[in-house]
Chain A
Amino acid sequence: MASLDSTEKRIRLYIYEFILRSDRCPTLNEISLEADLNPLATGRVLHELEVTHSAIVLSPGSSNIWLADPFAALPTPYPVISGSHQWFGMCVWDALGILVVADRDGRAPSLCPVSGDALELRVESGTLASSEGVVHFAVPAANWWENIGFT
């Protein structure tokens, strides 16, 4: 597996730090300014991060970030709330992963997809303090990246 070059590493980390600070993904222009690259060159870096499975997934046919695993770029049924911050995960695993990446306490409310019951996982002092429900993984591990949106 090829390792990332220094520009790719810097941009990858910038994306995560931006999300943690701003509760949203940076735009192509914001990344370009930070990296001192033109948007075309920045887009190439983002596509390289995507094809090397470096946790960045782009919206189809664009250089816009759709997923900086575990952070989703758009609102989803799996919000994560921590203090004044709100992020979104693609799934319940991502929701807890966000609190791990942020190294913060918080809560991940969601609705049972069948009953509609409100469920909440809560992290306090770095541990899972309150949990409800059961987790269902529908996709076998070997197939997770075939359709990461469904996974």
Chain B
Amino acid sequence: MQLFRSEDEVDGWVEATGHDKGAVFSPEQLWDLASAWYDDRLRLDWRRRTVDERQAILSGVGLVGDFWDLGGDP
């Protein structure tokens, strides 16, 4: 996940590297995602969230659709 000046730069990166274009969104949305995703790291009883729980976090910040489907993510 990289931070670009604008979506034009993302398109330039895709063209230069040959990688597929993925999803583009705002830093504000990323902050919401990070806040929900990483709020549990300092708990002694930490456990990895289930796929359903992780999917709910993504959906909760508006990241929905095939690209965000965790599917077989271990």
Contact = CB atoms under 8 A, between A and B. Distances in A.
Interface of A: 1, 3-4, 9-10, 12-13, 16-17, 52-55, 70, 91-94, 96-101, 110, 112-115, 117, 119, 121, 123, 127-128, 131-145, 151
B44 A140 contact: no
Decide if the interface of chain A is mainly helix, strand, loop or mixed: mixed
Contacts of B70: 141-142
Given A93-B33, A132-B27, A136-B24, A110 B3 contact: yes
Contact of A3 (B19, B30, B35, B47): B47
A3 B48 CA distance: 9
A138 B38 contact: no
Contact of B1 (A131, A135, A143): A135
A100 B22 contact: no
10 contacts: A9-B44, A17-B42, A52-B48, A70-B38, A99-B34, A115-B9, A121-B31, A123-B31, A136-B23, A140-B69
Contacts, number: 164
B28 A137 contact: no
Contacts of B43: 13
Given A131-B27, A142-B70, A117 B37 contact: no
A66 B63 CA distance: 28
Nearest to A136: B10
Contacts of B20: 138
Interface string B62-74: 0000111111111
A143 B19 CA distance: 14
Contacts of A92: 1-3, 27, 30
B3 A138 contact: no
B48 A135 contact: no
A9 B42 CA distance: 10
A96 B38 CA distance: 9
Q: Lowest 10 CB-CB distances: which A-B pairs, in order?
A: A131-B27, A142-B71, A96-B34, A97-B38, A114-B9, A128-B31, A91-B1, A112-B5, A100-B38, A92-B3
